[in-house]
Amino acid sequence: MSTLLISLLTLFLLLISAFVILIVLMQKTSQSGGMGAALGGGAAESAFGSDTNNILTKGTVYGIIAFFLVALGLYLLYQAQSASVTPEVDMNTLISSQEEQPVAETIAEVVESIDDASDDPQPATN
């Protein structure tokens, strides 16, 4: 059930992203032109009437709020899903497992192994 909800919210997040991108591109361009001119310039004004800037601004704000809320919801769902998945550990394996012996128990053993290695004469190779 959780994976279905995550998939649907991810799809919804992608749709909101596309909506916000399009609504930002539809906003009125500056005098020098911009991305809004690529969509026909005055197409948004003819679609929404004289109150175009107000409608597009509200749409942008609501779209961004929805984007962040859905993204936060997805984050919380992913956190809940990862917290619920715990690794299965067999207690008998933990109890009966052998501890590995350390390589050298004391500094004296390390020094002895170095001394033993230096006592063996190695032929010089040039």
In this predicted model, what pLDDT tens digit does every residue of 60-119 receive, in sequence order?
999 999 999 999 999 999 888 887 776 677 777 766 666 666 655 677 777 777 777 776
pTM: 0.54
- Per-chain mean pLDDT for the chain: 76
Mean pLDDT check: name the lowest of 1-10, 32-41, 52-61: 32-41
Which of left, alpha, beta for 71 (phi over 0: left; psi -120 to 50: alpha)? alpha
Q: What's the Cα-to-Cα distance from 42 to each of 10, 13, 59, rounded to whole Å?
A: 33, 28, 18
How many residues can be counted in the chain?
A: 126
pLDDT at 30: 55
User: What ranges do the domains of the chain cover?
Assistant: 2-86
